Amino acid sequence: MRKPTVVTVVALALGLVGCTQEKGGASPSARGSTTAPGTQPSATATSKAQPALSGAQFDKRMTVTGVAPGGHHRSVLDVTADGALVVAENPAPAMEGDQVRIGQSRVGLQSASGFRAFPRPTEPCGNRPRQADQADARSGSVAWNETSSTNLYESDWCVFFYDPTANTTRLLGSSASVGAKLPPPPGQTVPTMGRSDVFWATTHPTRDERKFGVKIVSRPKSGEGKVADAVTKAKLPKADGGTLYYVRSEDVAPGFPKNRYEIRKIDETGHDALVTAGSLTTDQQVSVLAVSGPRITWVVSNPHQERAKLYSLAQPGGKTISFGLSHPGAPTMALSVTPKLIAWGSGTSAGDGGEYVFDIAKQKLWRVDSQEGYSAVYAKGDFIAWSKIPAAHPEGAVSFHTARWK
């Protein structure tokens, strides 16, 4: 999800882009295990969540304010499995006439001992300032995206990877290699790290009436080779070890049934299999996907409605649990899943600003806080991080708390 200290431009796009007909990609298939979420027990309402308390459900570790030295803004992009935060320090945006001017982000790790910026990339990405808006942190490595766009309907991307072994930051890819003035893909350009590759979604020019298609691309973390297509007519990539998960539906795959979606996976051998599928009504979409081990979690939403539904499935053949969300479930919402927890917030959407954590083993739903206007919770390992808008300066930069879940 886009962070509020970054100019919020692309994040509000709710599936604005479709995909052209092209070769490749799977058609609806009966292979694999199909789960129809509509047949599951009724969803748990978030109004049933109990307040989570420091010292009882979690032990608070640190608070990071939204203002860095020099007046820069801190934007939190992810939490690590050891409780550090992936942070972008950004110069405050400025207005020049009717144009928003941004400065260049510096990305690094924020721990209790301070901020440590990653080395500057070994290769530049264009000559315009960019701000980081998405990241994925795993095992000391971090992949993130930066954009220079301040336009709601256009998005460029530069995807970087920090290699802790070599203490090097590599540029993995730039949207300049795909095309100019690209619209954002459904779900945004969110890097996700697998065992050896980094994956992300992008739009690309086509020659049919839709003008743009959507695909998932990848490149090895080592920087070897070039950006390559991983799967076409697909969105919302999430990698877990050697497996890539993704969503296919009509908004990115013309000719696919409009009333159906599939969540699929590709293993290290290249085998593409159906994981689960469900039905969609008019204007519904799968807006967010998260994966950890055997558990996949996703949100089905309608941009014209103020309610959505969150599903979580333990595969193979496990029980699907669901939650009714009192907000639109937009692609800008935050959603994380670990072997222990499911965590979410509404992001920048209207509606319920609750920041929720579901304890999978105990089957209990907790509300950590509530932040209307910017509701975000991240989870990795046993750690969570959640947003807090300062009461004294609600128009100011957002702070984050971190804690270890008990």
- Check residue 98 and give its pLDDT: 80
Q: Would 5 be classed as within a structural domain?
A: no
Separation in Å, CA 192 to CA 65, 136, 141, 217, 337 = 26, 6, 11, 11, 14
Cα–Cα distance measured from residue 213 to residue 234, given in angstroms and rounded to the nearest whole number:
9
First-last CA distance in the chain: 26
The residues, any chain, with a CB within 8 Å of residue 45's CB and separated by 6 or more, are 323, 324, 326
The C-alpha angle with vertex 137 and arms to 131 and 141, in degrees rounded to 5, equals 100
Strand partners, 405: 58
What's the Cα-to-Cα distance from 177 to each of 184, 237, 389, rounded to whole Å? Answer: 15, 20, 38
| Token pair in block for residue 368 | 């950590």
The verdict on residue 252 lying in a domain is yes
Q: Give me the amino acid identity at 13.
A: A
Residue 92 confidence (pLDDT):
83
pLDDT tens for the chain, 406 residues: list them. 545 444 443 333 323 333 333 333 333 233 344 444 444 557 999 999 999 999 999 999 999 999 988 889 999 999 999 999 999 999 988 888 888 889 999 999 999 999 999 999 999 998 999 999 999 999 999 999 999 988 878 889 999 999 999 999 999 999 999 999 999 999 999 999 999 999 999 999 998 888 999 999 999 999 999 999 999 999 999 999 999 999 999 999 999 999 999 999 999 999 999 999 999 999 999 999 999 999 999 999 999 999 999 999 998 888 899 999 999 999 999 999 999 999 999 999 999 999 999 999 999 999 999 998 899 999 999 999 999 988 776 556 799 999 999 9
Judge whether 309 and 68 are in contact, CB under 8 Å.
Answer: no
Tell me the β-bridge partners of 277: 262
Host domain of residue 296: 10-21+43-405
Amino acid 295: pLDDT: 97
Contacts of 118 (CB under 8 A, 6+ apart): 107, 108, 109, 142, 162, 169
CA–CA dist 86, 338 (Å, integer): 17
Burial 112-129 (b: 16+ CB within 10 A, else e): eeebeebeebeeebeeee
In a domain, 170, yes or no: yes
pLDDT at residue 1 in the model: 57
| Count of domains for the chain | 1
Whether residue 27 is contained in a domain is answered as no
- What separation in angstroms does the CA of 402 have from each of 54, 268, 339? 11, 34, 18
Residue 36 lies in a domain: no
- 375 neighbors 354 (Cβ within 8 angstroms): yes
3-state SS, one letter per residue, for the chain: CCCCCCCCCHHHCCCCCCCCCCCCCCCCCCCCCCCCHHHCCCCEEHHHCEECCECCCEEEEEEECCECHHHCEEEEEEECCCCCEEEEEECCCEEECCEEECCCCEEEEEECCEEEECCCCCCCCCCCCCEEEEEEEECCEEEEEEECCCCCCCCCCEEEEEECCCCEEEEEEEHHHCCCCCCCCCCCCCCEECCCEEEEEEEEECCCCCCEEEEEEEEECCCCCCCEEEEECCEEEEEECCEEEEEEECCCCCCCCCCEEEEEEECCCCCEEEEEEEECCCCCEEEEEEEECCEEEEEEECCCCCCEEEEEEECCCCCEEEEEECCCCCCCCEEEECCCEEEEECECCCCCCEEEEEECCCCEEEEEEECCCCECEEEECCEEEEEECCCCCCCCCCEEEEEEEC
C-alpha span between 47 and 366 (Å, rounded): 10
CB–CB of 315/295 below 8 Å?
Answer: yes
Nearest to 75 by CA among 22, 130, 24, 34: 130
Q: Is residue 311 part of a domain?
A: yes
- Domain membership of residue 358 (yes or no) is yes
Which two tokens mark 292? Answer: 């950890």
pLDDT of residue 391: 78
Instruction: Say which CATH number the domain at 95 has.
Output: 2.130.10.150
Beta bridge partners of 215: 202, 232
* Structure token pair of residue 25: 């990609």
